[in-house]
Chain A
């Protein structure tokens, strides 16, 4: 049972430290059924409460934690298979001498992605959401309790592969990074507008495949800017390495901005 927060229900969530011992803790989400004296008076309660207020509260708490420790937290969102983990593996290998990094991996099942990250020598925690289709602020709070990251670092949070559900859930991140690959079609931003609306930077991945697929980068960017005119774009091939320097420059610039605050 989680005493820190009002538990955000569906199914069982487990958190694993990859490397180290595996104290997965299962959350018990039973709802309280308190019985009171019967009172048959009809009563109207003006609630006026945001449905997501509990998540937003915890997200603000995470955000305060990140700010106090000068940690740049990035929420990486995409469809399954867009290349989030590949991009992270490459990034961690390339920037680890300059930046101290941590990773939180969100997947419905398995530690596979966390194992891939662990192989780069980066501290990583895997969250398995079970049936849940997104990470929420509550899970991040617990992952942070396990992880105890040091100050002046970058925290990459790989969300569950899904372009719809994670959009509504603030994790307390400093910036949201949406990754789209060129095999997904250039109308993606119009099909999944919420995610592009709520993101700060968009990585267009797998550009090595551009010669083989009908994907027009300009059309994609035009569509994404309809949803979010201030979105930034970085074109990369996480696999071949093209454009990764632009991504690293963006990262380092964000780290400096965070430190300057």
Chain B
């Protein structure tokens, strides 16, 4: 369950930012989580519920932007939606793919008071 350490890192980032902004409460937190980031949503939600208790995020509304995966075929330059790391290029069937999007795992913004 690496999702738990991911959530703990998010709490650390939020706490640091809130402190810098002289804020006591985080009302909202917005995350970008890519389709190919290696985060399992159910595990993430479970870890979130457990971990945010007693943290600066205990009452924060969680907004997750799911970023769809996108690959660029290095053989034929086709761009295509990628759902798995083992997806082949739909045109030429090759696996030499450069991932253009979908690996994101970041804290985008916070709303604090």
B-contacting residues of A (Cβ < 8 Å)? 6, 8-10, 31-52, 54-55, 132-134, 136, 164-169, 189-190, 193-194, 197, 223, 225-227, 229
Contacts and interface: CB of A to CB of B under 8 A. Distances in A.
B86 A226 contact: yes
Interface residues of B, number: 39
Nearest to B54: A31
Interface in B12-44: 12-13, 15-17, 19, 21-24, 27, 31, 38
Contacts of B22: 36-37, 39
Given A35-B24, A226-B95, A42 B6 contact: no
B85 A197 contact: yes
The dominant DSSP class at the B interface is: mixed
A48 B108 contact: yes
A6 B85 contact: no
B15 A31 contact: yes
23 contacts: A8-B5, A9-B5, A9-B9, A10-B5, A33-B56, A36-B19, A36-B23, A39-B22, A43-B23, A44-B109, A44-B110, A45-B109, A45-B111, A47-B107, A48-B108, A50-B105, A51-B10, A133-B1, A164-B2, A166-B2, A190-B86, A193-B86, A227-B85
A51 B105 contact: yes
B38 A167 contact: yes
Contacts of A227: 85-86, 95
B24 A36 contact: yes
B108 A9 contact: no
A34 B16 CA distance: 10
Contact of A42 (B31, B56, B111): B111
Given A52-B105, A167-B38, A194-B85, A42 B5 contact: no
Contacts of B113: 39-43
Nearest to A198: B38
Contacts of A55: 9
A168 B21 contact: no
A40 B107 CA distance: 23
B88 interface: yes
